[in-house]
Chain A
């Protein structure tokens, strides 16, 4: 016992700081998809891309000139507008969303904002209602963002249409 205590004492007296350089064993990594046993997990093309494809094949979901050098006049405003539009579309077409509305393309041409992407009608197909909702969304967003907004959302029958792969 005494010997042990002595040992501790010497250990404390010789203690020093150090940085651990061993790599941590993280099995789960961000943006890496995990496969299911019966291959039922739907992946769109966007989801199937690996993290190192970000900015190359992935993440071209917004198109405008405010990212360019010497053209950054209102870049923060554009980012905020994008978020407003995405949230509105997600909330306004809850039954028609594909992959929970994560893949909506926003393009800007002049002062026009164009929302493109896919919606599905497997749950309910009500053509008149959809026309009305498109009109409402365009009008609402145009007034909100003070610029013309056009919806160019295309309809697919169901979510399986956009499936690139199943894992």
Chain B
């Protein structure tokens, strides 16, 4: 149907006429003849049409028109620009149009965006000049330096306050007790978890390093028995810090942070329950298997007690009450590296214990 309609429109064209006449041959050029007869009714003596010789087209050529226009013989027709409507629709820049006092700036510039000279109503300039006194730095419009640098025009104090007010309903206040006494945090919050978040720019914003979780546990707060604590420390190995009495578990074997955190909690649970177990062979433990040398039950103590007894009989005045103090000193002396100060302290305590007065 479509094709038929197409043919029908074509059939009215002059080309179709020509083709038809070429096939038929009878009335070829009739319309043209009629046209010629209308315009130029010139015939020669034999009654035939006067056929014009083609020299050049009847219209004026472009070059001729231009020549006439330049010499003033023809008037120049001025045409409006093809993009006139768009150019008329052009408005002055917003920075000039807006009233900074009435407009809310956070509505004009709500989010992070590249600097736009037409929007920002600030008389800023940027760029270096060899001699600034002679010539001011580069202007605001068309300044690529201003476009390059990140701006914080969306982070005005008012905008930040607005943002904080908006998210306030989702927040709970920080416990004031913890602010008042920072030492409370160690007892109330015995487990602390540390992890890092990495920010990337690009197609892939993930970072494999963010999976690592470090968990620090205060071992004192686990309230283990003495034997269990010793077993706990032995199981923990290097992860236990003697000075701070804290256990540090670093997990990085799973793919995500959550998995690693779960795994850290699992490890702590297992460690706790394993430490509380008492095996049959644990009873075979001897004094020499202890982690530290103990004063209680040591040979030194029995000898000291003996010595004090002897000193009493000899007429000296030994300080019996300071034996516990001596015990603590002795324990730290035996269980840590020997220094000059510690050795002096040892001597001083011993003299005090035995009641030997004098200048060293």
Interface residues of A (CB under 8 A from B): 44-46, 57, 60-61, 63-66, 71, 73-74, 77-78, 81, 103, 105, 107-111, 114, 116-118, 124-127, 145-147, 152, 154, 156, 161-164
Contacts and interface: CB of A to CB of B under 8 A. Distances in A.
A124 B81 CA distance: 10
Contacts of A108: 201-202
B128 A57 contact: yes
B302 interface: no
B204 A74 contact: yes
Given A116-B114, A127-B89, A60 B204 contact: no
A45 B203 contact: no
Interface size class of B (residues with CB under 8 A): 20 to 34
A74 B114 CA distance: 24
A117 B202 contact: no
Contacts of A162: 142, 144
A105 B202 contact: no
Nearest to A64: B201
Contacts of B201: 64-66, 108-111
B142 A118 contact: yes
Interface in B97-113: 112-113
Contacts of B41: none
A146 B203 CA distance: 7
Nearest to B127: A45
B141 A156 contact: yes
B202 A154 contact: no
B217 interface: no
Contacts of B205: 110-111
A107 B142 contact: no
Contacts of B12: none
A116 B83 contact: no
B203 A71 contact: no
Interface in B309-343: none
B262 interface: no
B86 A125 contact: yes
A164 B150 contact: no
A143 to B, nearest CB: 13
Contacts of A146: 203
B37 interface: no
Contact of A71 (B114, B145, B147, B200): B200
Given A45-B127, A109-B201, A125-B90, A154 B150 contact: no
Contact of A147 (B141, B148, B150, B203): B203
A66 to B, nearest CB: 6
Contacts of A81: 203
5 nearest CB pairs, A to B: A161-B142, A108-B201, A162-B142, A152-B114, A116-B114
Contacts of B353: none
Given A103-B144, A117-B147, A127 B202 contact: no
A153 to B, nearest CB: 9
B150 to A, nearest CB: 7
B116 to A, nearest CB: 6
User: Residue among B86, B112, B199, B201 with the most chain A CB within 10 A?
Assistant: B201
